[in-house]
Amino acid sequence: MPRSAPWLAAILATLLAAGLPARATDNRDVRTLTVTGNGETHAPPDRATVSLGVEARGATLEAARGAAGRVVAALLKVARDLGVADADLRSTGIAVQPDYVWSDSRKTRTLVGYIVRRQLQVELHNLDRLGELIEQGIGAGANDVGEPQLDSSRRADLAREAIARAVADARANALVLAHGLDATVGAVRTATTTEVGAEPYSRPMRLAAVADSKAPKTYETGELAFSAHVTVTFDLVPGPAPH
């Protein structure tokens, strides 16, 4: 099971403390009721990590490396011209691979050059420029563009809201079950949660053709869904709840 973040543990500790019975040493048999709850919140993303890569080939290593370097320099200029700070740019990676051609007749391979791959990672905080970044990056020579990884600066708050909704859902489920059993929901015994995740919710991003002059307007980020799942065990007290 994924480890819960520290603030999740604090929420659960508060929940447990509020529900502990006054007589902790009471050894009477206690019936319990275990339920699950789910919660979800939606929000538009406000940041993205964009990967713009280039694969360059050359007859020599220097030629391939030079070609890749020129594209990365052009990509850096594109990002800076769009207002991206240097602190949000990373272009340190490089991969080099010999380029061979296989001969079926001779059953041998011949070295014909080298392949150099480089990538520029861009942390974009203005999603209005997302389409421009990708399109201008392709125009500058990027030939390996990864799907943007969307996120929200309100991730922690949205995650807590999802947990709160999951806890409320668990309690509502417990009340329904207890009512059907002519019993009452008592104190909380245990509570666990899985780590909250964020996934695309609606309108997946569409990548437009480079030739489309209106391409930047076709990039739609949609929303993110933050979901949480909790399991809670309550005391099950005989007798209906008082009205």
Q: What is the per-residue pLDDT for 1? A: 40
Asked whether residue 140 is assigned to any structural domain, the reply reads yes
Q: What is the CATH number of the domain that holds 204?
A: 3.30.110.170
Please state the rounded mean pLDDT for residues 150-162: 93
Give the pLDDT band of residue 242 (cuts 50, 70, 90).
Answer: low
| Domains identified in the chain, total number | 2
107 vs 149, which has greater pLDDT? 149
**Last-in-domain residue among 90, 124, 149:** 149
CB-CB contact of 147 with 138 (8 Å): no
Q: Do 174 and 58 have their domain in common? A: no
Asked whether the predicted pLDDT for residue 226 surpasses 80, the reply is yes
**Last-in-domain residue among 131, 149, 167:** 149
Asked whether residue 197 is assigned to any structural domain, the reply reads yes
CB-CB contact of 162 with 195 (8 Å): no
Q: Do 134 and 55 have their domain in common? A: yes
Q: Do 183 and 102 have their domain in common? A: no
Q: Do 198 and 233 have their domain in common? A: yes
d(CA 202, CA 49): 19
Asked whether residue 62 is assigned to any structural domain, the reply reads yes
**Chain-wide mean pLDDT for the chain?**
84
Q: Do 135 and 54 have their domain in common? A: yes
184 vs 242, which has greater pLDDT? 184
Asked whether the predicted pLDDT for residue 202 surpasses 60, the reply is no
Q: What is the CATH number of the domain that holds 143?
A: 3.30.70.2970
Query: DSSP label at 146?
Result: P
Q: Do 62 and 141 have their domain in common? A: yes
Q: Do 18 and 90 have their domain in common? A: no
Q: What is the per-residue pLDDT for 206? A: 40
Domain coverage including residue 124: 48-149
Q: Do 68 and 30 have their domain in common? A: no
Give the pLDDT band of residue 4 (cuts 50, 70, 90).
Answer: very low
Please state the rounded mean pLDDT for residues 187-214: 62
Q: Do 53 and 141 have their domain in common? A: yes
Q: What is the per-residue pLDDT for 194? A: 80
Q: Do 178 and 202 have their domain in common? A: yes
Q: Do 55 and 145 have their domain in common? A: yes
Beta strands in the chain (DSSP E): 32-43, 47-58, 89-90, 94-103, 108-124, 144-145, 149-151, 183-193, 197-202, 223-238
3-state secondary structure of 179: helix
Q: Do 102 and 144 have their domain in common? A: yes
Q: What is the pLDDT of residues 76-133, one digit of tens each?
A: 999 999 999 999 999 988 999 999 999 888 889 999 999 999 999 999 999 999 999 9
pTM (predicted TM-score):
0.71
Q: How far from chain centre, in Å, is Cα 182?
A: 43
**Last-in-domain residue among 132, 149, 166:** 149
Q: What is the per-residue pLDDT for 216? A: 72
* Close Cβ partners of 81 (under 8 Å, ≥ 6 residues apart): none
Give the pLDDT band of residue 13 (cuts 50, 70, 90).
Answer: very low
- Please report, to the nearest 10 degrees, the dihedral formed by the alpha carbons of residues 16, 21, 25, 28 taken in order: -110
Q: What is the per-residue pLDDT for 195? A: 64
Percent of the chain predicted with pLDDT > 70 = 78
